[in-house]
Chains A and B, each alone.
Chain A
Amino acid sequence: MTDIVIKTVEELKGAPEEYREAVSKLVISHAVNELYGAQVFDEPAIAYAPTPYAKWLTCRVAMEEYGHHVRFKQLGTQMGIPEERMMPGGTKKPLSIFEFPLKTWEEFVAIKLLADLAEILQVEDLLHCTFHPLRNLARATMPEERFHAQFGEDFSAELVKTPDGKARLQAAVDEYWPYLPKFFGGSKSKNNEIFRKWKIKQRTNDEMREDFVKRATEVAAKYGLTLPEVRQAA
């Protein structure tokens, strides 16, 4: 029986073990990666922001990213997941992109433009999740993720006004882009198979990755930017 709907954390206790484990994995993954993102990219970016306007806007973005971690951790705590598993240093390995500390403002803009688009796709896939507390959290998170991606677009539009700014932004895109398609996991992921079996998630990793590459190519093109793979294929 895979047509299951879990409306509360309390109801989750009666769900099949495979379902409970799958939901836990997703909550842990989001809690850990939101925190890594805020620590490695968003908070350090405040120092690189060029004006008070950009600094306070980046402050708000960083706080929202930390807030996503807090909310996923709160849900995980309600589900009985130990706090240690939802923090750095736990069993969940962070995404590889977090091994490359931020060095410039242009890198941060490129990350907001493209990595937050990847995050949007991940959250979109949870908007119809059969575990309603997670679905509702995804719905609350989505407007903020969209704003962060718009932040990337707005500052990209500023940077590409000058040839030097555009070149620096393109260099940042070239540096970070290769890590982003990996966000979506392996083609033969057993976890993804289980997520879809229980309608916790909707799409295969490859479907999401393909959609991401398409949307990222379109958004980059709006600002005269190219993605490394696209350039090689041209």
Chain B
Amino acid sequence: MIFLGPLRAEVYAASWFAALGEPLTEGDRVDAKAYAGTEGVALVTSWREAEDFLKSAEASLDWWNREEDERKALLARAEAQYPKRALWTALTELTTEAGDLVHGKAAVAAARMGGAATASIHVAAGAAAQAIYQLAVARVAGETASLFESKFRLFAAGRWPLGIKGSRLVLF
């Protein structure tokens, strides 16, 4: 059996999307640096601005591809330790449960702030659920220092890291 109980508890305790657009705190900056490896942070303050960035050519996919490489390497390590079916079932059940939770949180945040396209709530839920999945893979692989830990902490603090533009992390 693959035990993801502690992560499940962290998922339920997190402040999903509660601080979107708020001024940056020192804690945000520390986690942003740990996640993106850069001091620079570009703050996004509205859903419309976030949508525009995520759809634009400015939104490089280099960081996405780096995360995918990291995820695949960690998944291979996890698969070497656990039966594939059991691993897949544990990850799928966690992300299904967590996906519904973060989808609701994104919808609440969008309703409070206003101005979000319906599809953007799904995009936010996809981003948050992906972060949970990535961290679950890292934890199951036994990796405690992966970039997915700091990415999750940004989400847990109510933020949404949108991507890396030049030398700056774009944070909603």
Q: Interface of A with B (CB < 8 Å)?
A: 47, 51-53, 55-61, 63-64, 66-67, 69-71, 87, 147, 151, 154
- Complex CA gap A57/B129 in Å reads 11
- Complex CA gap A56/B56 in Å reads 14
Flag if B162 contacts A64 (CB, 8 Å): no
- Complex CA gap A147/B126 in Å reads 14
The reply to whether the CB of B96 lies closer than 8 angstroms to some CB of chain A is yes
Min Cβ gap A153→B in Å is 11
Partner of B125, one of A55, A60, A69, A151: A60
The reply to whether the CB of B92 lies closer than 8 angstroms to some CB of chain A is yes
Flag if B99 contacts A53 (CB, 8 Å): no
Q: Which residue of A lies closest to B119 (CB)?
A: A57
Flag if A60 contacts B99 (CB, 8 Å): yes
Please, which residues of chain B bring their CB within 8 A of the CB of A47?
68
The reply to whether the CB of B61 lies closer than 8 angstroms to some CB of chain A is yes
Knowing A51-B55, A59-B130 are in contact, say whether A67-B123 is a contact too (CB < 8 A): no
A-B contact pairs, 8 of them (CB 8 A): A51-B54, A52-B61, A57-B126, A59-B129, A63-B129, A67-B96, A67-B100, A87-B85
- Complex CA gap A60/B123 in Å reads 7
Flag if A55 contacts B64 (CB, 8 Å): yes
Please, which residues of chain A bring their CB within 8 A of the CB of B99?
60, 63-64, 67
Knowing A51-B54, A51-B55, A51-B59 are in contact, say whether A56-B123 is a contact too (CB < 8 A): yes
- Complex CA gap A25/B126 in Å reads 31
Report B18-37 CB contacts with A as 1/0, cut-off 8 Å: 00000000000000000000
The reply to whether the CB of B163 lies closer than 8 angstroms to some CB of chain A is yes
Please, which residues of chain B bring their CB within 8 A of the CB of A57?
119, 122-123, 126
Knowing A53-B54, A147-B122 are in contact, say whether A60-B92 is a contact too (CB < 8 A): no
Flag if A52 contacts B122 (CB, 8 Å): no
Flag if A53 contacts B96 (CB, 8 Å): no
Q: Name which of B59, B126, B162 has the most chain A CB atoms within 10 A of its CB.
A: B126
Please, which residues of chain A bring their CB within 8 A of the CB of B92?
66, 69-70
Q: Would you list the 8 A-B pairs with minimal beta carbon distance, nearest first?
A: A60-B126, A59-B126, A56-B126, A53-B54, A67-B96, A56-B123, A60-B122, A56-B127
Given contacts A61-B122, A63-B129, 10 further A-B contacts (CB under 8 A): A51-B59, A53-B55, A53-B59, A55-B61, A56-B54, A57-B119, A59-B127, A60-B99, A60-B125, A70-B92
Min Cβ gap A145→B in Å is 13
The reply to whether the CB of B150 lies closer than 8 angstroms to some CB of chain A is no
Q: Is the interface of B mostly helix, strand, loop or mixed?
A: helix
Please, which residues of chain B bring their CB within 8 A of the CB of A51?
54-56, 59, 61
Q: Which residue of A lies closest to B103 (CB)?
A: A60
Please, which residues of chain A bring their CB within 8 A of the CB of B163?
52
Partner of A63, one of B61, B68, B95, B120: B95
Min Cβ gap A148→B in Å is 10
Flag if A70 contacts B55 (CB, 8 Å): no
Report B80-123 CB contacts with A as 1/0, cut-off 8 Å: 00000100000011011001100100000000000000011011
Please, which residues of chain B bring their CB within 8 A of the CB of A147?
122
Q: Which residue of B lies closest to A56 (CB)?
A: B126
The reply to whether the CB of B143 lies closer than 8 angstroms to some CB of chain A is no
Min Cβ gap A171→B in Å is 25
Flag if A70 contacts B93 (CB, 8 Å): yes
Please, which residues of chain A bring their CB within 8 A of the CB of B70?
none
- Complex CA gap A51/B163 in Å reads 11
Flag if A63 contacts B59 (CB, 8 Å): no
Flag if B123 contacts A63 (CB, 8 Å): no
The reply to whether the CB of B51 lies closer than 8 angstroms to some CB of chain A is yes
